Structure 1
Amino acid sequence: MKALHGMLLGSTMSVAAMAGMAQAADIEVMHWWTSGGEAAAVGEFAKAFDATGNHWKDAAFAGPGEQARAIMVSRITGGDPMGAFQFNHGRQAEDLIEAGLLRDITDIAKAEGWDQMVNPQSLLAGCTKDGRIYCAPVNIHSWQWLWLSNKAFADVGVQTPTTWDEFVAVAPKLREAGIQPLAVGQQSWQQTGLFNVLMATLVPEEVFLSVYQDHDADVAAGADVAKVFKAAADAREMSQGSNLQSWNEATALVINGKAGGQIMGDWAQGEFSLAGAKAGEDYECLPGLGVTEVLGTGGDAFYFPVLDDPDLEKAQAELAATLLKPETQVNFNLRKGSLPVRGDIDLSAANACMQKGLKLLAEGKVLPDTNQLITPDTTSQINDLFAEFFADASMTPEAAQAQFADIIASAE
């Protein structure tokens, strides 16, 4: 198994005795949800789990997901597992499963009827290996959104764009007025995410799947993908001066009218909501950049390390079941800005942007997330490429595309 190294955190799991009753447990839960909107959302999980008589012991990691994953893996492989942890849907936990370090929760999934409620079923498939289920999917997060500040465009006297091309065309007016056209945090996962949104929306679906699912290097080096790299160069120009790190700082610029827009996943809605901004009034949201309305079926799932403690194992099972209960799904996803994994719950309280996402999901206008198609190693190589591309304006789209094609050629 490929070892990931990071500092070890001390275990904080304990068992609390309850007089006259079976023991309840403190379960340490690791995740990387630390923005204001994310913290409000994870609080809904904690509240629901605490209502079972157990206790959610929060262990949030304030840093990029790839760093958090490295630390979590180090904890588990080092013999100091937490009670539960968040990863993205897809292939990130493959090595841990193969090493026998993660709990098989097939019995819980069957008892709860997940195969009848999880929509789309690809989310449950992403938790399944060799016919056994190892994680609880909790939401659908789609990257393919352009968030636009109505105030920023009104301040320069133009209509809020309705497509990516319109946004690119009016970017110089924003720049002249001292408004950042495109807000992008200076972290490679954000830059790669932006590129993947362009890939998912500016070329036919078969091109996206040929590259990421089939690992076709010829397609990656071809004319269709060249258009995507040209759009990425436009995005790089529009993002110059966006000297931020975190994605939520970039979202705050859009909320305050100091940036025209941001390409970011639907988790940005949690920040808009926390700030009291209203969809359709203060900001607009364009799924598929207003070009190809399609959503990726990425998102988050919780895994449960193998533990040698019956009380903790019972609490793990209660947590897994609680995460997908109807009320928990509604409360969490309304806060998080994501779509629920259950197809049988009422989300009439959802805002206009979430309603757009629900409609696209119902219509089946979805794509698999790249995390479901490529390994973390390949993702890391692509992240390195786009960190360099966005940092170095002298790197041509053609040179970047050639490196990208080489990465796809060796992808697993």
Structure 2
Amino acid sequence: MMTRFRAAILAAGVVLPLGAAHATDLEVTHWWTSGGEAAAVAELAKAFDATGNKWVDGAIAGSGGTARPIMISRITGGDPMGATQFNHGRQAEELVQAGLMRDLTDVATAEKWKEVIRPASLLDACTIDGKIYCAPVNIHSWQWLWLSNAAFKTAGVEVPKTWDEYVAAAPALEKAGIVPLALGGQAWQSAGLFDVLLISLGGKDLYLKVYKDKDGETATGPEIAKIFKAADDARKMAKGSNVQDWNQATNLVITGKAGGQVMGDWAQGEFQLADQKAGTDYSCLPGLGMNGFLATAGDAFYFPLLKDEDKSKAQEALAKSLLDPATQVAFNLKKGSLPVRGDVDLSATNDCMKKGLDILAKGDVVQGTDELLSADIQKQKEDLFSEFFASTTMTVEDAQTRWAGIIASAE
């Protein structure tokens, strides 16, 4: 694969004809296409357009798993965009190593990113061989349970405060004709749900043993067996979802057709778009109400190498605008994520975002799986859990054995 990437380096500089002398159009690709995501992207575009350049939106419908191969193919095939979204971590590692991505160290130094980006691990995830290759724009955490207050009222039970209470309330929800757990059919949602169960029910040490240390013995042990039992509970609770996209699953919670959803904090953008208020219309449980640890994953923008001087200057302007304090606040309030800058005014945040900020302030954070595992291992994990949650015959024992084999093969 690396040979193919290196062969594409010369082609990567092929771009469209020169634009204006001091400002130009710049295509930005991403996979933010839900209503809440589109509203957030508009804030980034507005900030960039204010520099005199023009954001050309290159949204790719679907998830990151759908979009990333398209983005990579364009970059390696000689048709690079001006900037592209990836999750910060290892997703663009081979592109950087092949010399296809722009070094942003000078921009980061001038803008003092090391002084303002918190936690520092976010910028570390953008750093390869001492050089900075991406601009992180948010802190997204997967470890949330979103609950419909109306659904539980209809079912005649209290809104749960823990995962265990949630599982116990499932029969009452089903009796009321409400799907207990909304879960979309995309593979990344199933894998993400399992990872949330792992850290929220098993704790930080267990999570790091398998995903950071790749401890095969732990992966086959009884502590992990308990997590797979919880995944089986979730599988049974989600059997009536019948939706594909994550935001469709979120809408089931918003409309009271589902009791809850395990999904990242980007779900907040959908609740806000529906004019729902945290604590009144919906509730949120970081760490499933069990272990309040959040993974500091998120999104970053990478900049392919371009030969067009005007577009290269526009790339610098975009990188700066993404980290501008006002842009950080406007974007993240609509995205439902937390800003990467530790020096911005967050007085307008809602109750759920404040919970996340409190956890972040305590330092109860871990690296996300995109930072700990290669893209190939992530894909294997997604394939397994997609099959597990769609199946009624795969046993938890078989699933654990297959998962442990994936962990044992990880680098």
Shorter-chain TM band: over 0.9
Q: Distance in 2 between matches of 1:217 and 1:43?
A: 44
Structure 1 segments of 4 or more deviating over 2 A? 1-4, 11-17
Q: For residue 76 of structure 1, what is the aligned residue in structure 2?
A: 75
Residue 295 of structure 1 and its aligned partner are, at CA, apart by: 0.8
Q: Distance in 1 between matches of 2:71 and 2:310?
A: 22
Matched to 1:83, the amino acid is: G
Residue 163 of structure 1 and its aligned partner are, at CA, apart by: 0.3
Structure 2 residue matching 1:319: 3-state secondary structure: helix
Map 1:33-112 → 2, pairs under 5 A: 33-112=32-111
Matched to 2:127, the amino acid is: T
Q: For residue 367 of structure 2, what is the aligned residue in structure 1?
A: 368
Count of paired positions = 402
Structure 2 residue matching 1:24: 3-state secondary structure: coil
Matched to 1:407, the amino acid is: I
Q: Is the 8 A contact 1:13 1:26 kept in 2?
A: no
Q: Is the 8 A contact 1:23 1:311 kept in 2?
A: yes
Q: For residue 144 of structure 1, what is the aligned residue in structure 2?
A: 143
Q: Distance in 2 between matches of 1:272 and 1:361?
A: 22
Q: Distance in 1 between matches of 2:17 and 2:85?
A: 20
Q: For residue 154 of structure 2, what is the aligned residue in structure 1?
A: 155
Map 1:215-294 → 2, pairs under 5 A: 215-294=214-293
**1:405 to 2:392 alignment:** no
Structure-2-length-normalised TM-score: 0.96
Q: Is the 8 A contact 1:15 1:23 kept in 2?
A: no
Q: Distance in 1 between matches of 2:54 and 2:174?
A: 50
Q: For residue 8 of structure 1, what is the aligned residue in structure 2?
A: none
Q: Distance in 2 between matches of 1:13 and 1:90?
A: 30
Q: Distance in 2 between matches of 1:381 and 1:204?
A: 23
| Per-residue deviation, residues 265-302 of structure 1 (Å, max 9, x unmatched) | 00000000000000000000000000011111000000
CA RMSD, Structure 1 to Structure 2 (Å): 1.2
Matched to 1:360, the amino acid is: I
Q: Is the 8 A contact 1:14 1:25 kept in 2?
A: no
Q: For residue 11 of structure 2, what is the aligned residue in structure 1?
A: none
| Per-residue deviation, residues 166-222 of structure 1 (Å, max 9, x unmatched) | 000010111111101000001110000000000111113111101001111111111
| Per-residue deviation, residues 103-149 of structure 1 (Å, max 9, x unmatched) | 00000000000000000000000000000000000000000000000
Q: Is the 8 A contact 2:15 2:80 kept in 1?
A: no
Map 1:125-204 → 2, pairs under 5 A: 125-204=124-203
Q: Is the 8 A contact 1:28 1:82 kept in 2?
A: yes
Residue 241 of structure 1 and its aligned partner are, at CA, apart by: 1.3
Structure 1 pair 160–318 and aligned structure 2 pair: CA distance change class (3 A)? same
Residue 25 of structure 1 and its aligned partner are, at CA, apart by: 1.0
Matched to 1:372, the amino acid is: E
Q: For residue 9 of structure 2, what is the aligned residue in structure 1?
A: none
Q: Distance in 1 between matches of 2:358 and 2:275?
A: 24
Q: For residue 384 of structure 1, what is the aligned residue in structure 2?
A: 383
For structure 1, list consecutive stretches of 5 or more residues without a partner in the other structure: 5-10
State the identity %. 63
Q: Distance in 2 between matches of 1:155 and 1:13?
A: 57
Of 197-206 and 339-348, deviating more is 197-206
Matched to 2:189, the amino acid is: Q
Q: Is the 8 A contact 1:13 1:83 kept in 2?
A: no
Q: Is the 8 A contact 2:32 2:41 kept in 1?
A: yes
Q: Distance in 2 between matches of 1:373 and 1:395?
A: 27
Q: Distance in 2 between matches of 1:344 and 1:393?
A: 49
Of 279-288 and 202-211, deviating more is 202-211
| Per-residue deviation, residues 9-48 of structure 1 (Å, max 9, x unmatched) | xx9956442xxxx420100000000000000000000000
Q: For residue 395 of structure 1, what is the aligned residue in structure 2?
A: 394
| Per-residue deviation, residues 212-256 of structure 1 (Å, max 9, x unmatched) | 011111111111111110000000000001110000000001011
Q: Is the 8 A contact 1:15 1:24 kept in 2?
A: no
Q: Distance in 2 between matches of 1:98 and 1:237?
A: 43
Matched to 1:143, the amino acid is: W
| Per-residue deviation, residues 307-360 of structure 1 (Å, max 9, x unmatched) | 001111000001001100000000000000000000000110000000110111
Matched to 1:376, the amino acid is: A
| Per-residue deviation, residues 58-114 of structure 1 (Å, max 9, x unmatched) | 000001211200000000000110000000010000110010000000000000000
Matched to 1:79, the amino acid is: G
Q: Distance in 1 between matches of 2:331 and 2:176?
A: 39
Q: Is the 8 A contact 2:235 2:389 kept in 1?
A: yes
Q: Is the 8 A contact 2:155 2:175 kept in 1?
A: no
Of 105-114 and 387-396, deviating more is 387-396
Q: Distance in 2 between matches of 1:15 and 1:333?
A: 33
Q: Is the 8 A contact 2:101 2:304 kept in 1?
A: yes
Structure 1 residue matching 2:109: 3-state secondary structure: helix
**1:308 to 2:307 alignment:** yes
Structure 1 pair 342–14 and aligned structure 2 pair: CA distance change class (3 A)? farther
Q: Distance in 2 between matches of 1:282 and 1:130?
A: 47
Structure 1 pair 12–306 and aligned structure 2 pair: CA distance change class (3 A)? closer
Structure-1-length-normalised TM-score: 0.96
Q: Distance in 1 between matches of 2:203 and 2:335?
A: 30
Matched to 1:74, the amino acid is: S
